[in-house]
């Protein structure tokens, strides 16, 4: 399992110092059902706007 999950979305409330994700869980979905062929076909549903 990944030790550090990085995120460059600066306005996400889970974005911590060093662009590390501080969420307890990460939820990633595919635009194409349950399989994706590249990262452009996915989205992070964990995102929540911060301040």
Q: Do 21 and 44 touch, CB atoms closer than 8 A?
A: no
The single residue listed with the structure tokens 């662009």 is: 19
Tell me the pLDDT tens digit for each residue of 2-44: 789 999 999 999 999 999 999 999 999 999 899 999 999 999 9
Ordered by start, the domain boundaries in the chain are: 1-51
Return the pLDDT at 19.
Answer: 95
Against a cut of 0.85, is the pTM above it? no
Secondary structure element (H or E) that encloses residue 16, with its range: strand 15-16
Return the pLDDT at 2.
Answer: 79
CA distances from 22 to 3, 4, 40, 49 (A): 11, 9, 23, 13
């Amino acid at each position: 399992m990944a030790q550090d999950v990085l995120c460059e979305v600066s306005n996400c409330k889970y974005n911590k110092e060093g662009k590390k994700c501080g969420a307890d869980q990460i939820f990633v979905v595919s635009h194409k059902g349950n399989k994706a062929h590249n990262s452009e076909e996915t989205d992070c549903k964990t995102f929540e706007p911060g301040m």
